[in-house]
Amino acid sequence: MDDYLIESMEGARLKLHEPVSAGKVLVFDKPWEGVTSDYISVFKDDDRYRMYYRGSSHAGYTVESLLEPGEWVIPEHDQLVCYAESQDGIHWKRPPLGLFDFGGSKENNIVWTGHDRKGSHCFMAFRDDNPNIPEDQRYKDLASGRSPGWKHVLGLVSPDGIRWRTIQDDPIISQEDMDWGADLAFWDTEQEPYVAYLRDWRPALKDPPKGMRTMGFPRIRAVVRTASADFHSWSPLEFMDLGGAPVEHFYSNGITPYFRAPHIYLAFPRRCVPWRTLEVFKGNPGPGASDVVFPSGRDGLHWERSSVEAFIRPGRNIRSWIHRANTPASGVVPTGEDEVSLYLQRHYTFPSSHFERMALRTEGFVSLHAGYVGGELVTRLISIT
């Protein structure tokens, strides 16, 4: 997926592959979900797969002229955190957990409601494999809020991945100008700190590269990294370094250590293109369209892209060409003998909003490709003890 082992190539190139749709996983048709449900984290946990996502319905985003006969929008409600699980990563269910009341009933899969809407906007949970932590903190999460002016990140822990509590009342990460959202963390088994990736802003470029326009955006959406030894105190934020790749708006990041090679990080940023708004969506509160790109890295801070082309495209359905559609999940999981899966939000702001599973052969992100006449690759010197 990068040139780390490559000394030279002639007549050959690295070819970026594209995952294939494996169908819908969940349609957000429950009263506590809705048209703007989003922000997914998925991981395999022993005998099951776990999924966390935001239940949300900002009805004002929906383009009503594009609704099909009989479609209706779930009424707006506070943002919630929902949970689903699976035995194979393919077939998912919402367990009735009975933890929180919604509409007079606890028959739902809600696991967190936050306080003052804090902590329910982005909730990206993970299993903590740190061997030195107490079992009542085996699952962790960084959660951000949605209240105006609230730009802090809470730390949450859980003994079972279902019942959550805050580590402390005060935020564990705070920055005055930090954009809330896409708060993602994990225990780095190779470097052994906790690592988190957040959404932030870069100053706009004075001379943007050809093809990049800001369309009035004074800043550029970007990803920042921070690390911690104890999940309480965090290092200063550092911007994700993409080397010589184009500077683009990254709305989310989807970063995860690859489960078969945890020293390699995979990232699936949603590339926001705010100047490409389809005519039918003009006047909508959010401009632009989005796709997914694929950087990889080995130290968590410096990243490479074998191609600037899209890794996952919006596709042919117009509902995936609206501003915030196509947000990828955090997490790549095995779902077959020679298959891995990742997950994607589709049809944002429409009643057909859903998660889609995208399948790829194992290690099939990038391949070495040569044409009919062939080519040659020479690796770096490899010493075997």
Residue 1's pLDDT band (boundaries 50, 70, 90)? confident
pLDDT at 115: 59
For 224-283, write each residue's pLDDT tens digit: 999 999 999 999 989 999 888 888 899 889 999 999 999 999 999 999 988 888 999 988
pLDDT at 189: 84
Q: Which of 326, 374, 380, 369 is nearest to 40 (CA)?
A: 326
| Start-to-end CA span in the chain (Å) | 25
Q: Read off the pTM.
A: 0.93
User: What CA–CA distances, in Å, run from 35 to 54, 55, 56, 135, 349?
Assistant: 11, 9, 7, 36, 4
Alpha carbons 290 and 326: distance in angstroms, whole number:
7
* DSSP state string for 174-211: E-TTPPP---EEEE-TTT-SEEEEEEEEEEPPSSPPTT
For 284-333, write each residue's pLDDT tens digit: 888 889 999 999 999 999 999 888 999 999 999 999 999 999 999 999 99
Residue 50's pLDDT band (boundaries 50, 70, 90)? very high
In terms of residues, how long is the chain?
Answer: 385
Question: By percentage, how much of the chain surpasses pLDDT 90?
Answer: 70
Largest CA distance in the chain: 68
Determine contact, residues 221/323, Cβ cutoff 8 Å.
no
* pLDDT > 90? residue 200: no
Which domains, ranges and CATH numbers included, belong to the chain? 18-364 (2.115.10.20)
* pLDDT > 90? residue 203: no
Tell me if residue 232 falls in helix, strand or coil. Answer: coil
* DSSP state string for 325-382: --PBPB--EEEETTEEEEEEEESTTSTT-EEEEEEEETT-SEEEEE-TT--EEEEPP-
**Of the listed ranges 152-156, 215-219, 326-330, the one predicted with least confidence:** 215-219
Name the CA dihedral angle for 289, 295, 299, 300, rounded to a multiple of 10 degrees. Answer: 20
**Of the listed ranges 142-151, 158-167, 327-336, 358-367, the one predicted with least confidence:** 142-151
